Amino acid sequence: MQDASPTKLLIVDDLPENLQALDALIRGERREVHHAGSGEEALALLLQHDFALAILDVQMPGMDGFELAELMRGTEKTRPIPIVFVTAAGKELNYSFKGYEAGAVDVLYKPLDPGAVKSKVEVFVALHQQREAMRQQVLALEAARRQQEEMQAQLQHALLMRDEFMSMVSHEMRTPLNTLYLETQLRKMQLDRGNMAAFGAEQLRRMLSRDDRQIQNIVRLIDDMLDVSRIRSGKLSLRPGLVQLAGLLGRVVQDLTPQAATVGTTIVLDAPTPACGWWDDFRIEQIVVNLLTNALRYGGGQPVVVTLAVMADSVRVDVRDSGPGVALENQGKIFEPYERGVGSDAPAGLGLGLYISRQLAEAHGGSLTLSSVPGAGAVFSLTLPRTEAPPA
């Protein structure tokens, strides 16, 4: 790990010519030498920069080198900075520096021996660089540890989602299967009792259509899950053909009218203009069925209106209900897979319908958007580009 910033050195001397001479000796590549003409100036610089070493002239008017060193020792930021005193040869250094790390204080004698100065500074700079490298390693380790923790949390979350998903799927499958199971038990009982009146043509027809609905529910769940895995793996492909959209909407609305009746409402279709385009009719039907099923399910039993607007090179299908609508903070979320609105006591789904529908719209080069004022209903708008000839 390479530290890009230069190593900073501080030299303190009251005589400018001494500063110049010392600077010339210790200057080097990737080093920055700062000058201070007094102890006060030095303190200001010390607080501003991170120095690898401070070289202090002992004899200075005002604050001398020892006093400066004492102040440096008293401050957290400057305490670890190694100090080299410069003093005239022969002078007694009868001053004790308690509290300094061993080896953090050294002495150079005047007149300065260039070789000795250079090698001392080398040692301190090397020490500083080692410490810096170590610090970087500790930081990197810390970052790696945090990343690991984050991944752990994500994994945990994924596992939780999977468990939740499995219980959701089981529940969704269980409901229609339970109904089918009860039906078969009931029929067995009638048979055992020899009650053949329960198996008249009309009764059988009703039974079969009930069975059919439950089977369709299961098939739809499975198809939705398969669609999601196709979308996720990029294997969803469209089979476009010439589609007459107003006709398609008419058929879907008719198919869902009995379902609307069971929740006591109606679906109104407003599609006066036939609109032909090059789309995958199976997928477009899937989108519209999803939107209508949702409007019946979450639309508070209010009438649902489907409108078709035909533009020069696009069409828009609006599915509008007057139910409770979607809270602002959920308007983006409900298009994500497995996102279900909270507090909906309606028969549950897997939260895949809108996700799949938007993906299908986008695969057509179109879009699926929601506009809803909570309390005043929801409008889901499917927009599709339209060409009457197969696109290139």
Ligand X SMILES: Nc1ncnc2c1ncn2[C@@H]1O[C@H](COP(=O)(O)OP(=O)(O)O)[C@@H](O)[C@H]1O
Q: Would you tell me which residues interact with Mg ion (CB under 5 A)?
A: 294, 349, 353
DSSP 216-239: HHHHHHHHHHHHHHHHHTT-----
Residues 283-322 that bind ligand X (CB under 6 A): 290, 294-295, 298-299, 321
Furthest C-alpha separation in the chain? 127
Q: Which SS3 state, helix, strand or coil, does residue 13 take?
A: coil
Nearer to ligand X, 277 or 323 (CB): 323
Q: How far is the CB of 233 from ligand X (least distance, A)?
A: 20
- The span from the CA of 227 to the CA of 283, in Å, is 11
Question: Cβ closer to ligand X: 9 or 284?
Answer: 284
How many whole angstroms separate alpha carbon 341 and alpha carbon 325?
11
Q: What does 286 interact with, of ligand X, Mg ion, none (CB < 5 to 8 A by kind)? A: none
The single residue among 81, 117, 354, 384 that binds ligand X, judged by CB under 6 A, is 354
Instruction: Give the one residue of 65, 82, 277, 353 binding ligand X; rule: CB under 6 A.
Output: 353
CA atoms within 13 A on the CB side of 37: 3
Residue 277 as a binder of ligand X (CB under 6 A): the answer is: no
Whole-angstrom Cα distance, residue 10 to residue 124?
A: 12
Residue 341 binding: pick among Mg ion, ligand X, none (C-beta 5-8 Å cut-off by kind): ligand X
337 binds, among Mg ion, ligand X, none (CB under 5 to 8 A by kind): none
Residues 6+ apart with CB under 8 A from 80: 101, 104
Interaction partner, residue 37 (ligand X, Mg ion, none; CB < 5-8 Å by kind): none
With respect to ligand X, which residue has the nearer C-beta, 75 or 170? 170
- Of 6 and 301, the one with the shorter C-beta distance to Mg ion is 301
Query: Which of 125, 260 has the CB closer to ligand X?
Result: 260
CB 245 within 8 A of CB 317: yes
Helix (H) or strand (E) holding 291: helix 281-298
d(CA 313, CA 244): 15
Angle between helix axes 281-298 and 245-262 (nearest 10 degrees) is 30
Residue 231 site contact among ligand X, Mg ion, none (CB < 5 to 8 Å, cut-off depends on kind): none
Give the residue nearest to Mg ion (CB): 353
**176 scored as a contact of ligand X (CB under 6 A):** no
Residue type at 109 in one-letter notation: Y
Mark 327-346 with x for binding to ligand X (rule: CB under 6 A) and - for no binding: -------x----xxx--x--
Choice between 33 and 267, CB closer to ligand X: 267
- Tokens representing 65? 């080198």
The token pair at 60 is 């200075």
The pair of structure tokens assigned to 344 is 């909906």
Residue 109 binds to ligand X (criterion: CB under 6 A): no
Q: Which is nearer to ligand X, 83 or 334 (CB)?
A: 334
Whole-angstrom Cα distance, residue 245 to residue 275?
A: 5
Query: Which of 326, 360, 368, 382 forms a contact with ligand X (CB under 6 A)?
Result: 326
| Residue 361 binding ligand X, by CB under 6 A | no
Cβ atoms of 366 and 383 closer than 8 Å: yes
Total binding residues for ligand X by CB under 6 A? Answer: 22
If the CB atoms of residues 354 and 384 are measured against Mg ion, the closer one turns out to be 354
Give me the residues that bind ligand X (CB under 6 A), please: 290, 294-295, 298-299, 321, 323, 325-326, 334, 339-341, 344, 349-355, 378
